[in-house]
Structure 1
Amino acid sequence: MKQGLYEQIINRDTMNQLSTLDPSYEIGKEPMDAEEARKLLSNYISTVTRWALKLIREQTPDVEAVLAQIRACNEIISTLKNNLGEEELEQLKVDEQGEILTHVYSKINSIRGITGEKVLRPATPLSQSSLFTGAHSDSRR
């Protein structure tokens, strides 16, 4: 392991790496706070899930990739059945059509309903944070 500050959950891989360090290294650890554990563990599961879905994508033909990833997500959700009620479990499963909701607008008394104007979306996905600078160029370049 590299020297430095860390704020990461200790998994088995990390434990193995720490066990190989020379005794001259100081290793700092602290127990997870009950309130912070929810955030730390959900971020950890998110990272592991993202990695697993990437592997599924790389190992699956294009026509089956989305469905294989959705099914993997639904398996993860199903493992939480002891913590979720049966109704919540079913409601949280991802629909196998593989669609993303992009907007909901009334067609009644709306200029969009009359003109059929296309909904404009920001260049940056809503789920991704972005810095708005007021500049004409993209701030991420």
Structure 2
Amino acid sequence: MLQAGLYEQVVNKKLSEELGKISEARKYVKPIDKAEASKILAQYLAEAVEKALNVVAEKNKDEEKLKAQIELSNQIIALLKNSADKSSSLEIESKAEQLLAVLKENDPKLAAGKKAKDLIRPETSVAQSSLFTGALHEPQMFSELKKEIASADKIDILVSFIKWSGLRLFIDELKEFCDHGGELRIITTSYMGATDVKAIEELQTLTNAKIF
């Protein structure tokens, strides 16, 4: 039974049946915005695919779970290829691997004996947004920023104000980043005098740094 409240949900057959039992005055349904259709439908499909992959995993033994999920993923991709670019090869390799890093051919790290797998990376995903709540058992934002800085070649920061007490936690990482040719751009404000002058002065000493 549908609970009262606000929704932002694609109407599927199951939901349509439930809505059919509700009077017109009690529900508000409108066509999907054409300009946002791809985004809305992609999100819906992502949730549907995730559920299907979980079901497939539950139906197989531990050693067969991932293989079964890959097979289902490739079946879905095969359907997409009929409508999308047929020349693209989107099938997932049977090795079931995930690319995590690539170094430039002339990266100094290679000369120093380092490999792409040695790159420092944050604990949180670099492909999805993360919410930092400050909980004890979660990664701290400043420590994640340090790791992000270490793996970046260009940094854009948009922040309401800058306090020295916060900046000092990773100013050394920013300095090293800039000294190695990284490009840093920061947009902030002086509204209500909240930004510390010391913080701006320190940032202005960095090479390749632009403060707006």
Query: Larger strand proportion, structure 1 or 2?
Result: 2
TM over 0.5: yes
Compared CA separation, residues 53 and 113, structure 1 to 2 (3 A): farther
2:28 partner letter: G
> Which blocks of at least 5 consecutive residues in structure 2 are unaligned?
142-212
Contact 2:123 2:139 in 1 (8 A): no
| Mapped partners of 2:32, 2:98: distance in 1 | 35
CA distances 1:43-84 after superposition (whole Å, capped 9, x unpaired): 000000010011111221121111111111111111123312
- What residue is the counterpart of 2:192 in the other structure? none
Shift of 1:19: 1.9
Query: What does residue 103 of structure 2 align with?
Result: 105
Kindly report the root-mean-square deviation, in angstroms, between the aligned alpha carbons of the 2 structures: 2.8
Distance 1:43 1:18 in 2: 21
Deviation beyond 6 Å, 4+ runs, structure 1: none
Quick one: distance in 2 between partners of 1:38 and 1:109? 38
Aligned residue type for 2:51: W
Pick aligned residue for 2:112 from 114, 124, 133: 114
Gapped regions of structure 1 (runs ≥ 5): none
Letter in 1 for 2:85: G
**What TM-score does the superposition give when structure 1 sets the normalisation length?**
0.82
The residue type equivalent to 1:13 in the other structure is: K
1:18 has 2:29 as partner? no
Q: What SS does structure 2 have at the residue aligned with 1:81?
A: helix
> By how many angstroms is 1:130 displaced?
2.1
SS of equivalent residue, structure 2 residue 78: helix
TM-score normalised per structure 2: 0.57
Q: Summarize the alignment of residues 1-141 of structure 1 with structure 2, pairs less than 5 Å apart.
A: 1-21=2-22, 23=23, 26-88=26-88, 91-106=89-104, 108=106, 110-116=108-114, 118-131=118-131, 138=139
The aligned length equals 137
Identical positions, percent: 31
